[in-house]
Amino acid sequence: MGVLDARLGNVAKCCADVASNGRTVGSQDVADSIAVMLARLQQLITLGLLAAAGGSAWCFVHDGRPERAWWVAAVIVLGYASFMALEFLVMRLVHRDDPAPRATLAQLVKAWWGEIVTAPRIFCWQQPFRSRRFADHLPAGSRAHGVVLVHGFVCNRGFWNRWMQELRRRNIPFVAVNLEPILGSIADYGSIIEHAVRQIEVTTGRAPVIVGHSMGGLAARVWMAEHRGAVRAHRVITIGSPHQGTWPARFGWSTNAREMRQTSVLQTGLQAQESVQSNARFTCFYGHCDNIVFPASSGTLPGADNRHLEGVAHVHMADHPAVLAEALHWIAAEHGSDATEPMPLAPLSGK
């Protein structure tokens, strides 16, 4: 506990050089450069897979055996789908006596299919190739509650492309952060969120709504503990966040993966600093088909507005209309804009 208190209680020391504009000297440049590195790595993986598949198919066609080219495609697709199915099987077995309702077979199949379609769009397109499509939106004179978007493990701001497109359409201020070090401690991410929060505060004069997916929800809690978030955040919305740890993290080797284990020092330290009253500022979306954060109730906080999403998996949760509706509800509070207009996240034309 002493180690965590030193990290969480004294992070102000890490932010001592914050300039008058709220920026830690050099930190955002480093975050941006590392995010580019992650995008480049995911580009290489995606293009490498395509090249391997295309090269193998060309060899078979050139060798007069075109039917085997289809076998190559089938192996790739079925291998990916089978690995995803294994995640759902393990999640189902670990559920045991968790208080969340047990998913039916139909709900599991629906969630499995949704994740099969969604995950490649995020990890093979939006993050590697489109993370810079939408710049942060800080319109002068805005009086809306702006939004800080915080991605999860091994992701970048491209995860939020659909959200950024919709928020810009509604002229709602937002900042989407890049968390770094990518495999470092979650305790180091609070200062990055603080920089984004200050940008929103300077632009709007209002407290922000913070939306975090997966590990991003833990990073938001670190920010809350370090930077008086209980009185500065208008609302914190988490999506599939391992607030009580997650079973698969036992296999993680990076610092932030180990911190998402169910009994990590970070987990127990945050819980010791929080209360039912402070958690009342949270809306936590969780689900019995979350194939990354399980058992399902791991995504809840005592005293929070915990919302169960049926039949939707981990990455796909961010596209659920109920999540956007909750964010728009809090963005619209205390100001008269069109943010209450109901609209789900529509597919992007160019993503």
Residue 14: which CATH number? 3.40.50.1820
Query: 270 pLDDT exceeds 60?
Result: yes
Contact call for residues 110 and 340 (beta carbons, < 8 A): no
- Cis peptide, bond prior to residue 302, ω within 30 of zero: no
The pLDDT of residue 142 is 87
pLDDT > 70: what percent of the chain? 76
Where does residue 351 rank: exposed (0-12), middle (13-18), buried (19+ CB within 10 A)? middle
β-sheet bridge partners, residue 137: 174
Domain that residue 15 falls in: 1-351
Looking at the 3D structure of the chain, how many domains does it have?
A: 1
Q: Does the pLDDT value for residue 71 go beyond 50?
A: yes
- The DSSP code for 188 is G
CB atoms within 10 A of CB 201: 15
Q: What is the token pair recorded at 43?
A: 């580009």
Confidence of residue 341 (pLDDT cuts 50, 70, 90): very low
53 Cα distance to chain centroid: 30
Starting at the edge strand found earlier in the chain, the sheet holding 147-150 runs 174-176, 147-150, 209-213, 235-239, 282-287, 305-309
Q: Which residue has the higher pLDDT, 307 or 24?
A: 307
Please write the tens of the pLDDT for every residue from 238-259: 999 999 999 999 999 999 999 9
**Residue 34: predicted pLDDT:** 55
Query: Does pLDDT of 68 surpass 70?
Result: no
**Does residue 269 register a pLDDT over 50?**
yes
Rounded Cα–Cα distance for residues 6 and 140 (Å): 38
What's this model's pTM, rounded to 2 decimal places? 0.83
Going by C-alpha positions, the residue among 307, 299, 267, 302 that lies closest to residue 283 is: 307
Query: Is pLDDT larger for residue 208 or for residue 335?
Result: 208
